[in-house]
Amino acid sequence: GAGVSQSPSNKVTEKGKDVELRCDPISGHTALYWYRQRLGQGLEFLIYFQGNSAPDKSGLPSDRFSAERTGESVSTLTIQRTQQEDSAVYLCASSPGMNSPLHFGNGTRLTVT
């Protein structure tokens, strides 16, 4: 079946612009996660959704970052007034339940110039 889909796969933007990253989870997966991975680094947790609510937003780096999920499906991660330190790969993952592994998308590579 279809896996987690992320778009765009690559995004180059100018410093100060807003960007929107999209994630389509696997159908039926109630849990959805966003992670950030800087070059050569591990995965940094950003936010988690259970259904449409976000019980854990602890990883969002600043108020420039926000995320929403609608219809227990698609999620968007928005970064306002992008900075060069926002350059990274943004990974989305979904999971059907608490004891299940996360299934990751291929990520969006964001470059802020």
* Chain position carrying tokens 């680094």: 41
| Other C-beta atoms lying within 10 Å of the C-beta of residue 51 | 12
Task: Establish whether the linkage from the previous residue to 8 is cis, with ω within 30° of 0.
Answer: yes
For the sheet with 19-24, list strands across it: 5-7, 19-24, 75-79, 65-69
Q: Using the rule CB under 8 A, which residue among 24, 33, 60, 77 binds other proteins?
A: 33
- H or E, element range at 60: none
Question: Is 89 a residue that touches other proteins (CB under 8 A)?
Answer: yes
In angstroms, what is the minimal distance from the CB of 1 to other proteins?
Answer: 15
Does residue 101 touch other proteins according to CB under 8 A? yes
The binder of other proteins chosen from 90, 95, 110, 112 (CB under 8 A): 95
Residues that bind other proteins (CB under 8 A): 31, 33, 35, 41-43, 45, 48, 50, 56, 89, 91, 93, 95, 98-99, 101-104, 106-107
